[in-house]
Amino acid sequence: MTTRIFSVATPDGALLRVQEHAAAEVSQSSTEVGADLPTVVLAHGWTLTRESWLPVVEQLVAAGVRVVTYDQRGHGGSSPLRGQPTVRLLGDDLAAVLDVVQPHGRVVLGGHSMGGMTVMAYAGLHPEEFRARVAGAVLVATSAGELQDRLPAVASRVMALASRMPGLPAGRFVTRRGQRRLLFGADAQPAHVQLTRDMVAGTPLPTMGRFFGALGEHDESEALSQLAGMPTVVLVGDRDRLTPPRHGRRLAELVPHAELRILPGCGHMLVYEATDEVLDAFHTVLDASIQPEVG
């Protein structure tokens, strides 16, 4: 696998760290890798980074798919936050990434948690572009809204305080035990818990706090009509504490013909806990996206 790392500028001046992954050597202008398949573009979740998609990236690339990952603003190698973010701002960021990495041709979008909300925001903000450009979607452990009841008052107060802190990483406030309980199901692998803990611990406190508020305000239920008739798979773990199965069921209800897959024993970190099932969802969507139209 070869990779290329570069930055994409957003309209408001943020720089997003982007990584292109391919099975063959790529150049800056390359769109030939995996030419028979749409490029897969992956958006990660709150307090994670593009590295959270790596188990899926490696196997998609091995199957000949060109994959693009990127760090959401305020996360990983992208620009620190300025001001109060919204999920809709992330939708515009995704549009900026797509303009650079796939200016022509179609894409399959994958979003985990906040990344799934990013996909929905992009659909709502840019509906014509979305319908013309997107061949399918995989929505992993995510929600169209109504998250307020998952945000306890004490957590809201702590995150409000974090949002006003200097741009220091969360660091010692994040423990392996806490991450395992919050984000994983019954059979969490210690290495996966550690990787997740390290990403969360490296997240600046203002990013953690300000996006917490943005997630509580997120509602893109109307945008989901843009996915009508589009190959779409919704994945959720039956032990997910952040976006429990009712959120996945609501997504499947709001997206006509979407396929809902509820994964037993799994929590929120499905890319680690159920890599094969997530991969199968992408292959389902990719295969459907290249089927010849009838009629």
Give the DSSP per-residue string, 126-154.
Answer: SHHHHHHHEEEEEEES--SB--GGGS-HH
Residue 116: its pLDDT value, please? Answer: 98
Q: Domain for residue 89, yes or no? A: yes
Domain span at residue 274 reads: 2-289
Exposure of 268 by Cβ count < 10 A (0-12 exposed, 13-18 middle, 19+ buried)? buried
Is residue 238 scored above 70 in pLDDT?
A: yes
Q: How confident is the model at residue 171 (pLDDT cuts 50, 70, 90)?
A: confident
Is residue 294 scored above 50 in pLDDT?
A: no
Rounded to whole angstroms, the Cα distance separating 219 from 145 reads 4
Q: Domain for residue 146, yes or no? A: yes
Q: How many domains does the chain have?
A: 1
105: domain CATH number?
Answer: 3.40.50.1820
Q: Domain for residue 51, yes or no? A: yes
Q: What is the pTM of this model?
A: 0.91
Q: Can you tell me which residue has the tokens 């959401």?
A: 72
Q: Domain for residue 231, yes or no? A: yes
Q: Domain for residue 13, yes or no? A: yes
State mean pLDDT over 115-133.
Answer: 98
Higher pLDDT, residue 285 or 177: 285
Q: Express each pLDDT in 208-230 by its tens digit.
A: 888 988 998 899 999 999 999 99
Q: Domain for residue 295, yes or no? A: no
Q: Domain for residue 155, yes or no? A: yes
Q: How confident is the model at residue 151 (pLDDT cuts 50, 70, 90)?
A: low
Q: Domain for residue 164, yes or no? A: yes
State mean pLDDT over 100-104.
Answer: 94
